[in-house]
Amino acid sequence: MPHAVSLLRAARLARSAKPFLARGGFKRERCAGCRLLPSHCMCALRPPVATRAGVCLLMADIEPLKPTNTGWLIADVVPDTFAFGWARTETDPALLALLADPQWQPYVVFPGQYAAPERVVVSVPSAEDAAAGGKRPLFILLDGTWGEARKMFSRSPYLDGLPVLSLQPEQITQYKLRRSGRDDHFCTSEVAALCMKLAGEHVADQTLEAYLAVFTHHYLQAKNQQAIAWDSGAHQRLREVTALRQEGNS
């Protein structure tokens, strides 16, 4: 069944007047399920994890079309992932309904220095607290370039009354598929993993990290016309966290 990012991509493609061609990528046929070459498909590795926390992706215009977009990976892993295209002059009524849903406590994930101090938080209730009757955390991720994300943050009035979750990561980004001049600029799935860790969703956190590493391996091997190394460290780590998830469900 297509997930939220897949559906958003299909809707965006339906509005396109011409085919989208990713810069620097391969121009051959892609799998509809993972956006990779069929020879490097990773759909069979998709590792959904049951979580109480959810993710809401606000995506810049062409972000769902980019084969390197990692919001897609979040939707593969976290069942309660919602995705909406962002526009300055229009707001999807379904987005407003989601933000008003009483089961969720939305948090805009963004650096605290860009928000009023009274809005900034650095922690969220744990999964155990939520299970005890509290609201479920809903992490709103602004998916685009840094400039696009800043525009979304400053020009979306419906976000103004929400708390801003300011992450304090200790590691540097491991993302290799797009260029960035800074090690503290994380890709979207890395941000989601940090949020899940903060919420006590440790299996989801580890799965997102491992799944990103596998996606990176498959993408780069396809781009360089090389075979997949199924015994790579990335694949081994994903198998380990998958086993951990299965043990937790047994």
Residues 167-201 have pLDDT tens digits of: 986 654 554 555 544 444 689 999 999 999 999 99
- pLDDT at residue 125 in the model: 85
- pLDDT at residue 13 in the model: 85
Amino acid at 110: F
Q: Given pLDDT bands bounded at 50, 70 and 90, which one contains residue 110? A: very high
Q: Where are the domains of the chain?
A: 4-13+30-249
Sequence-ordered list of residues with C-beta below 8 angstroms from that of 134, at least 6 positions apart, any chain: 105, 125
Residue 2 in contact with residue 10, Cβ under 8 Å? yes
- pLDDT at residue 18 in the model: 59
- State how far the Cα of 19 lies from the Cα of 21, in Å rounded to an integer: 6
Sequence-ordered list of residues with C-beta below 8 angstroms from that of 118, at least 6 positions apart, any chain: none
Q: Given pLDDT bands bounded at 50, 70 and 90, which one contains residue 130? A: low
Q: Is the pLDDT of residue 106 over 90?
A: yes
- pLDDT at residue 28 in the model: 66
Q: Is the pLDDT of residue 104 over 60?
A: yes
- Smallest Cα–Cα separation from 245: which of 77, 124, 80, 130? 77
Q: Given pLDDT bands bounded at 50, 70 and 90, which one contains residue 15? A: confident
Q: What angle do CA 232, 235, 236 make, to 5 degrees?
A: 85
- pLDDT at residue 250 in the model: 56
pLDDT > 70 in the chain, percent? 84
Burial (Cβ within 10 Å: 0-12, 13-18, ≥19) of residue 199: buried
